[in-house]
Amino acid sequence: MGRRKTLVQSQSGAGGLQSLPALLHRNATQFGNAPAYREKEFGIWQCWTWAEAAAEIRAMALGFLEIGVEKGDHIAVIGRNRPAHYWSMVAAQMVGAVPVPFYQDAVAEEMTYVMEHCGAKYIVCGDQEQVDKVIEIQEKVHQVKHILYTDKRGMRKYDHSQMNALHDIMAEGRAGHHRLDAELDRRIAEITYDDTCVMLYTSGTTGKPKGVVLSNRNVIESAKNSADFDHLTRGEDILSYLPMAWVGDFIFSIGQAYWCGFCVNCPESPDTMMTDLREIGPTYFFAPPRVFEMQLTNVMIRMEDASPLKRRMFHHFMAHAKKVGGRILDGKPVSFGDRLKYALGNILVYGPLKDTLGYGRFRVGYTAGEAIGPEIFDFYRSLGINLKQLYGQTEATVFITVQPDGEVRADTVGVPAPDVEIRIDEKGEIHYRSPGVFVEYYKNPESTASTKDPEGWVATGDAGFIEEGTGHLRIIDRAKDVGKMADGSMFAPKYVENKLKFYPDILEAVLFGNGRDRCVAFINIDLTAIGNWAERNNIAYASYQELAGHPRVLETISKHVEEVNRSVAADTMLSGCQVHRFVVLHKELDADDGEITRTRKVRRGFVEDKYADIIAALYDGSDKVSTVTEVTYEDGRKGAIKATLTICDAKIQTVAPHKVAAE
């Protein structure tokens, strides 16, 4: 308890914890020896305590002064999750600059717009790849004054007149501290609660990305409220592996980490994330549904290959967990016998399984961004993993609604987070108001005004309703995606797509039908699941394209679509959204091609235009369609793939009012 008391924030005066540097100072002085950052490098977890991290960050800030960073400048950060990159964001704030993390996998062309828009003069790059991109952009955007990089590899040959290793400018900063200390302290003292803490670009399913300006108030209040809500302490360990440009990562890895003083662990490389997860065993964890789906798929695949005894044990105890696990976690009454059996299961199955997954110490965790399949959600909860859902936005500094312990369900996104007010307008769109509401969209007053009203209410663009009785929010779809079919019934694509995506075989689905008489769908197979299935069934294939077009795969997908149709038909409001015909696409929808956002949301309009020929074929009744699709490689070059796709018809459940439309 004593520990938590020290975290109470004073709301006024210079002694108040009103900026990241102030929080850093508190952490470094109050528990300087506690671990703050870990990164696996050269096969070993390297650790920095809060005191060490504070020294590193200060050196970096001094280095920034040395190269001439001015107050109000923007410093772009492009790289994977590494302590140095997190430090550079805090160091930027120390010198009065605004950190702007970018999506590191964005191609140069995509980056040009944001770079130009934010006018960053200083760029922190992770490695040579990012530096090359910036240099390419620099030919168009002449603003860049200095490039800094963390990984020295391959950088020797570059012109270093306006470029340095981050490490080197830190050394320069340290060396020149007598000269620069006073200036730095002055700049730190000048930071106010309402100064910009960070600027984050929203990925945007439509149009150009927008720069969301978040103040210290937004970040610190949100971090404080959410940390209180879940009783986060400085004993937590988190794994930081999600894109740094995403608001969630900023809140978890900086906001909450600095507020609570917990440890941020960075994986060795993006490919080692699963191994690193197991080694760290985070106590507080965040992942998009995709990660949980993938892990579950892997568990099921590996159980197929396990010995019969293990397999039987697994299925027996998982059945038991399904029955009582969730109830035990929610603190609901469960008979003594069932508890005893669950405890045995924990020793034999659940415990080892959780360890393998890296969830051995999991205390609380969230999934958000997309709907998660109820089976997947329940699987984790039944193991005793306290996985919950939240609903948030960049503009809200993440939190809009969260699920309190004991009220966790797959089909809602919880109750309003602390200090958040919610209302649903007459069109069904969700609005909210909270201390986390963003300051503005950078250099875009029109969009700011159309999103945030003078009283501070923000329109989410999502349609939803508050459930009677429980007060939980349920999301239907993006408000602008909800449409009408030709016969006037409701068209809510996400609802059907989610049902499809809950099958491990289906990675992505896109439903069309707005203003039409019936719905058709694009489907992406999940290569891991289908690939494994193909292997076990002796189905040979040479490429993704070949597997996606295999008759037996189409047959399997057909079955899934028909099951979904049955389930959709049961919903009187949405029974018109049954899938009449579908096609399994020959390529995965990819962010490099602009088909999905970097956070994996389908850009519906774009996909509709790009594959207009396939959609036409889906509606004109033809049973095959030949198409040429442009693809973008990782380095930004373009190519084309040709394919002939089979169009499949799916069985439709006849529902009385829609009988005419169905035939």
65-73, 79-87, 257-265, 627-635 -> range binding other proteins (CB under 8 A) = 627-635
Q: Is 634 in the site for other proteins (CB under 8 A)?
A: yes
Task: Give the Å distances, CA to CA, from 577 to 157, 349, 514, 648, 661.
Answer: 58, 41, 10, 17, 11
Options 3, 33, 41, 186; binder of other proteins; rule CB under 8 A: 41
- What single DSSP character describes residue 69? P
72-80, 235-243, 246-254, 633-641 -> range binding other proteins (CB under 8 A) = 633-641
End-to-end CA distance of the chain: 67
CB of residue 630 vs other proteins: minimum separation in angstroms? 17
Residue closer to other proteins, measured from CB, 41 or 649: 41
Instruction: Give residue 365's identity as a one-letter amino acid code.
Output: G
Contact 394, 204 (CB under 8 A): no
83-91, 106-114, 270-278, 290-298 -> range binding other proteins (CB under 8 A) = 270-278
Distance CA 413, CA 182 (A): 48
- What single DSSP character describes residue 256? I
Residue closer to other proteins, measured from CB, 273 or 402: 273
Task: Give the Å distances, CA to CA, from 418 to 135, 246, 404, 436, 540.
Answer: 44, 22, 11, 11, 54
CB of residue 278 vs other proteins: minimum separation in angstroms? 12
Residue closer to other proteins, measured from CB, 233 or 275: 275
Q: Quick one: which of 497, 503, 651, 519 has its CA closest to 589?
A: 497
CB of residue 269 vs other proteins: minimum separation in angstroms? 5
Options 623, 633, 642, 644; binder of other proteins; rule CB under 8 A: 633
Residue 506 parent element (H or E): strand 506-512
Contact 18, 193 (CB under 8 A): yes
Options 15, 139, 271, 663; binder of other proteins; rule CB under 8 A: 271
Helices 336-345 and 308-329: angle between axes, nearest 10 degrees: 130
Any bridge partners for residue 146, and if so which? 122
Structure tokens given for 564: 């979904």
CB of residue 43 vs other proteins: minimum separation in angstroms? 4
- What single DSSP character describes residue 452? B
Q: Is 206 in the site for other proteins (CB under 8 A)?
A: no
- What single DSSP character describes residue 384? T
Residue closer to other proteins, measured from CB, 43 or 331: 43
How many residues belong to the site for other proteins (CB under 8 A)?
A: 16
Encoded one letter per residue, x for contact with other proteins by CB under 8 A and - for no contact, window 145-164 reads: --------xx-xx-------
Q: Is 44 in the site for other proteins (CB under 8 A)?
A: yes
Q: Is 46 in the site for other proteins (CB under 8 A)?
A: no
Task: Give the Å distances, CA to CA, from 652 to 649, 658, 661.
Answer: 9, 11, 11
Q: Is the dihedral of CA 217, 369, 511, 564 positive or negative?
A: negative
CB of residue 374 vs other proteins: minimum separation in angstroms? 32
Contact 476, 412 (CB under 8 A): no
Instruction: Give residue 663's identity as a one-letter amino acid code.
Output: E
Residue closer to other proteins, measured from CB, 127 or 249: 127
Encoded one letter per residue, x for contact with other proteins by CB under 8 A and - for no contact, window 574-613 reads: ----------------------------------------
42-50, 73-81, 230-238, 415-423 -> range binding other proteins (CB under 8 A) = 42-50
Residue closer to other proteins, measured from CB, 465 or 633: 633
Length of the chain: 663
Residue closer to other proteins, measured from CB, 41 or 181: 41
**Alpha carbon 647 to its chain's center:** 33
Options 43, 308, 469, 621; binder of other proteins; rule CB under 8 A: 43
Options 30, 275, 298, 356; binder of other proteins; rule CB under 8 A: 275
- What single DSSP character describes residue 261? I
Structure tokens given for 318: 């998982």
Options 5, 42, 308, 445; binder of other proteins; rule CB under 8 A: 42
Q: Quick one: which of 516, 507, 476, 474 has its CA closest to 493?
A: 476
18-26, 541-549, 571-579, 628-636 -> range binding other proteins (CB under 8 A) = 628-636
Residue closer to other proteins, measured from CB, 26 or 586: 586
Residues that bind other proteins (CB under 8 A): 41-44, 153-154, 156-157, 268-269, 271-272, 275, 633-635
